[in-house]
Chain A
Amino acid sequence: MSTVQGASPRQIVVVGNGMVGARFAEEAARLDPAGERAHITVVGTEEHHAYNRVLLSGVVAGDYTPDQIRLPVPHTPGVTVRTGTTATALDTDNRTLTLDDGTHLPYDELVMATGARAAFPPITGVADPDGTPGEGVTALRDLADCRRLLALAAPGAPVVVLGGGILGLEAARGLVGRGMRVSVVESSPWIMRRQIDQPAARILAQRYAALGVAVHSWRVAARWIPGTGLELDDGRILPGDALVVTAGVRGNTELAKDAGIEVEHGIVVDDRLSTSNARVHAIGDCAQHPGGGAGLIQPGWEQAAVLARRLTGTAPEALYTGARPLTRLKAQGIELTAFGQVHEEEDAHGLETVTISDPYGGRYAKLSVRQEKVVGAVLLGFPEAAATLAQLYDTGAPVPADRLALLQGLPTATPDQDREEPTSLVCRCNAVSRTDIEQAWLDGARTREAIARRTRATTGCGGCVRDVQALLSGMQDQTNAPVG
């Protein structure tokens, strides 16, 4: 292994100890286990060690305890993690980061992994002007939110989820599993508006209704009345002891913006994951890359891996060129996968689509193909096809000719059916055919053992014992049958 001779390790400071910041440290520790290339300090506001935010809806559902979603902490000399500490100012001229405990951290390279926070819509009662959630209201972004939610709503209590995106639907599934009475309100024409098409959403909403979750799409909330519920724009009131707000996120970009770094809706980064300041980098939900992908964990982790290779110097030329984000709903009993172009109509730019709609069975599939490549799919209740298509999409491999078989998860029919079938073997291990066994019978073999001695049948894996015995008794019956 090559080591960096003579050079002192680079000082890398990571702002944010969430899933992406922690993954950066983990990747860097793997690439540089002795800490010879880089010293990394991770600064995180939360008191906890990093944990898996993606599984918070599972904590709500009771599938996980908070302890069980902890992320690995690298135990290498090169990594230091400072929890319960918030970065307050960034000075890019002097390359220092100021923390709320008054310390100043000098850096050679700074990584922004500040993530995003819940966006509270401007609805009466939902949030105070300073952004604090109102009475009975919570987001679902961190463990504190989980605790707050579970404290607000006991089993049997009504809960309203505001926002029918992925997180809202996962939370609703978890809450109904815990015995809460759940309503979901979505202001768009249908739930998961960005990821799936309307017919799919209709069937998905039916699936939720069957679980006892009432889905109200294209409904705007008017106000939140603590202790009562959520009033909609049509005057209806959905009862709720708690309101879970899952109506989008806002990148935590203030630190970067105040330091004069270019920010649009996120911190703008290029393929090197560098910001407008070459020593400052951004990854995960706070970053805005031309390839998109914010809001999903896989692109964030890929960015962390690329940046770790760049900054440790193990692959300084590594680039992040965008992700092919894929949405996979984690809701017990509902298998939903969606990715790529799902809203375009057939014939647009040579697009061909295969659609299966099965409202009765609660299943829906839409597969979009262009030039033999999968460009998008919505798969509700097609678990095998979802797994296969996701990989075809990811690798850009061509789709099989038999699209229907593919969607159904069936093996493709062999095109040349006329191909020579091997003579039907009874015992594959020893290549013994039915004819061989009949010949052995004619030669006097009357028991399984005698057949085995003569033909070797049944002596391999033993899987054909029953077949050989059936053949034997068949021949026995024939012999015993009255002649004429």
Chain B
Amino acid sequence: MTTTHCPYCALQCAMHLEPGPDGRLAARPADFPTNRGGLCRKGWTSTEVLTVPDRLTRPLIRKDRDSELVQTDWDTALDHVAERLLALRAESGPDTVAVFGSGSLTNEKSYTLGKFARLALATSQIDYNGRFCMSSAAAASTRAFGLDRGMPFPLTDVGGAEVVLLAGANPAETMPPMMGHLSAPTLIVIDPRRSATAQAALNGGGVHLAPRPGTDLALALGLLHAVRVQGWCDEDFVQDRTTGFETAWEHAAAWWPERTEQVTGVPAAHIRAAADLLGRASRNHSAYILTGRGTEQHTKGTDTVSAWINLALALGLPGRQGCGYGCITGQGNGQGGREHGQKADQLPGYRKIDDPAARAHVARVWGVDPHTLPGPGRSAFELLDALGTDDGPRAMLLLGSNPLVSAPQTERVRERLASLDLLVAADFVLSETAAMADVVLPVAQWAEERGTMTNLEGRVLRRNRATAPPQGVRTDLEVLSALAVRLGQPPQRFPTDPDTVLAELGRASAGGTADYSGVTPHRLASGEALHWPVREKEEPTPHLFLDSFAHPDGRARFTPVPHQPPAETTDTDYPLIATTGRTMGHYQTGAQTRRVPELHRAEPEAYVEVHPDTAARAGLATGQWARITSRRGHTRARVRLTPTARLDTVFLPFHFAGDQAANNLTNPALDPTSRMPEFKVSAVRLEREPAQP
């Protein structure tokens, strides 16, 4: 039996893997603080992905764009990739090669991928799908606290609170075992939909506030307004531990509850009631404010998170035991993946790539001249959008990601990918994006290799190997090493042993914000709760900020944030708002979960949640196929009548591909700070799909 953690989300539930009666590995929950012995249906069925019939076990290559992918051997595939990369680089310079990573990769892989890009490819053009996930919350946390660790406290703390406010988070659907921590507190759920979590809040005597999509920021300002007027501001905390309250308040001052009601559609009386609920608990230092993608995936996502943090600071929550602000990280290694250098502007240890001291430190660990390190590159969507353009990359290396389904405005992304001279994908199944590649490299899955992940509380965890990869499959580290050598790097610079990489990552991150220098295989194996920073031979840090925040003056900063409308507004042609999200049985682009029969049976196709009146107006009945059209494209989905839905909003899960892809609709307008696309607000119209299959 092997005890490890789930391959999916950032809760990283612990699980036991052992062969079942049929000889194949089966998963069952293990006791661990985050999942408390629980597991959702994705976790229970996770081992089935190891043996899916279309698992890739040999490299694939195509002669040219018009040919089919055919099997080949590793040397042929890698030689071809290296040769093409070198040729393109010679023609167009090092930035002609792009790298696209993932928040699902282990810390060791994320680190090695960043190093590979900067040294073996010498390219600045590296970013990852976490841009679509955590970037707004990360930017806002850094702005407020001087540091970004999703939850700066252990998740178990949350269970003891009187009140928890969840803004744009739906854990009952997306990470069910987390709800075990939310059963005792009274919940305030902010979501345009009566989600499973919103329903749980109401069932437990809590509150559901359903703002019009794109108005969360106004609602947060309205709550801050109500909190102050109703006397719940923690004046001493604001005075002693923060700066900038008054200028932040000037913006909130314009959002009295009645005006907030007009913009958000949330009744003023509910805003006042929520403020009292939150205020009373905060007086006892017993409330948490947690944000999720619903409030973050907007062109003003960073400012919206800042508004929630401002509210938390006014209530005196952060930097104290028993209360606080946190972001619920989504992807399995969404936290570690954003710390070790696969982000365009970053070096390991959450260091800035344009900081000379950071460059000098990392270059020393890597044994290179700091001047040879490239500078910051393009952010994820900008990178995808530049592919194959005049000054954009001509080649891309893709690991652990499926941007053809996860990125906004699918058609545009498809065109850009198609215009590349070379697309190389490392994956374990032929995902929609891998199917477009010139070379596909079959790689190992989570239970077939070792590595570390950093969960939503910033705790570094050990994933253990339970089985050998299928014959012919290599690990990502082996692939990167083999390519690096072919590109002229010394082999010892790209080790393939995860523990060796972890030791080097520790040195590279030492002294940085996310310091892993004290994370060792021994400490991991002992079960020690290693919340970073974990400095060498020092205690880990379960609670951050108790004494001071990470800015030089030790204070947290309020950020003055005004409300802005979404990038796109509704009109008579596109009168509804489409918002996208997740459903229980699927993970991200569904490349894994759509291949698990039990999960596929439960949710085999895209659906759209519509208010019965809105559906009736479009001539749609439950179970019929709807066509949803935005200014960028259309998709089809089966109608689910949802009486609790807002009249102006439809919801689509984004786990499906092709003509059922929700991202056919979405708007690639970006947040100016985090470069997060506006996944959560697209103006659409709803019609009957002409062909009812």
Contacts and interface: CB of A to CB of B under 8 A. Distances in A.
B209 to A, nearest CB: 10
B177 A462 contact: yes
B679 interface: no
B229 A58 contact: yes
B620 to A, nearest CB: 11
A429 B41 contact: yes
B642 to A, nearest CB: 9
A122 to B, nearest CB: 33
Given A391-B212, A429-B584, A463 B200 contact: yes
Interface in B598-648: 602, 611-613, 616-617, 621-623, 641, 643-644, 647-648
A463 B612 contact: no
A32 to B, nearest CB: 15
B251 to A, nearest CB: 6
Contact of A395 (B266, B611, B648): B648
Contact of B180 (A298, A416, A431, A462): A462
Interface stretch (B256-264, B285-293, B504-512): B256-264
A398 interface: yes
A384 B265 CA distance: 9
A219 interface: no
A397 B574 CA distance: 11
Contact of B643 (A387, A414, A453): A414
B682 to A, nearest CB: 16
A326 B617 CA distance: 27
A386 interface: yes
A71 B250 contact: yes
Contacts of B262: 298, 326, 328, 390-391, 394
A263 B560 CA distance: 39
Contacts of B196: 428, 461
A72 B644 contact: no
Nearest to A71: B250
A460 B28 CA distance: 12
Q: Pick the most buried of B41, B229, B616: most chain A CB atoms within 10 A of its CB.
A: B41
Contacts of A249: none
A414 B40 CA distance: 30
Contact of A390 (B36, B261, B623): B261
A173 to B, nearest CB: 13
Q: Pick the most buried of B39, B172, B265, B623: most chain A CB atoms within 10 A of its CB.
A: B265
A298 B262 CA distance: 10
A156 interface: no
Contacts of A391: 212, 262, 265, 648
Contacts of A52: 253-254
A66 B648 CA distance: 38
A64 interface: yes
Contact of B172 (A326, A330, A461): A461
A400 B40 contact: no
A447 to B, nearest CB: 14
B39 A461 contact: no
Contacts of B612: 412-415
Contacts of A69: 253
B250 A387 contact: no
Interface residues of B, number: 58
Interface in A384-420: 384, 386-388, 390-392, 394-395, 397-398, 400-402, 411-416, 419
A456 B41 contact: yes
Interface in B211-262: 212, 228-229, 247, 249-251, 253-254, 256, 258-259, 261-262
A177 B250 CA distance: 25
Given A411-B643, A456-B44, A461-B172, A63 B616 contact: no
A30 interface: yes
A70 interface: yes
Nearest to A19: B254
Contacts of B247: 72
A463 B183 contact: yes
B266 A460 contact: no
Interface in A33-77: 52, 54-55, 58, 63-64, 68-73
Given A71-B253, A461-B172, A387 B266 contact: yes
Contacts of A326: 262
Contact of A412 (B229, B611, B623): B611
A395 B176 CA distance: 36
A68 B249 contact: yes
A321 B229 CA distance: 35
Contacts of A458: 38
A68 B246 CA distance: 9
B176 A461 contact: yes
B29 interface: yes
Nearest to B644: A411
A328 B268 CA distance: 10
Given A326-B262, A383-B268, A460 B176 contact: yes
Given A328-B261, A392-B647, A460 B38 contact: yes
A56 to B, nearest CB: 12
Contacts of B542: none
A72 B560 contact: yes
B400 to A, nearest CB: 26
Contacts of B249: 68
Q: Pick the most buried of A30, A326, A415: most chain B CB atoms within 10 A of its CB.
A: A415
Contacts of B200: 461, 463
B183 A462 contact: yes
Contacts of A401: 613, 616
Contact of B613 (A71, A400, A430, A456): A400
Interface in B20-41: 28-29, 36-41
A335 interface: yes
A459 interface: yes
A72 B251 contact: yes
A118 B396 CA distance: 68
Contacts of A330: 256, 258
Contacts of B258: 328-330
Contacts of A398: 613, 617
Given A335-B269, A411-B643, A54 B256 contact: yes
A456 B598 CA distance: 13
A449 to B, nearest CB: 9
Nearest to A54: B256
A388 B644 CA distance: 13
B181 to A, nearest CB: 9
Given A30-B562, A384-B267, A414-B641, A461 B622 contact: no
A462 B179 contact: yes
Nearest to B29: A459
A29 B221 CA distance: 20
Contacts of B38: 458-462
Interface in A367-395: 383-384, 386-388, 390-392, 394-395
B616 A415 contact: yes
A387 B41 CA distance: 38
B270 interface: yes
Nearest to A301: B254
Nearest to B613: A400
Q: Pick the most buried of A335, A387, A391, A400: most chain B CB atoms within 10 A of its CB.
A: A387
B267 A397 contact: no
A459 B229 contact: no
Interface string B37-80: 11111001000000000000000000000000000000000000
B624 to A, nearest CB: 11
Contacts of A30: 562
8 closest cross-chain pairs (CB), A and B: A461-B179, A460-B176, A411-B643, A461-B176, A72-B250, A383-B267, A400-B613, A429-B176
22 contacts: A52-B254, A58-B229, A63-B229, A70-B250, A328-B262, A328-B268, A386-B261, A387-B268, A391-B265, A397-B647, A402-B613, A414-B622, A414-B641, A415-B641, A419-B641, A428-B196, A428-B584, A458-B38, A461-B176, A461-B179, A462-B180, A463-B179
Given A414-B612, A460-B40, 8 more contacts: A54-B256, A328-B259, A388-B265, A395-B648, A414-B641, A415-B612, A430-B44, A460-B39
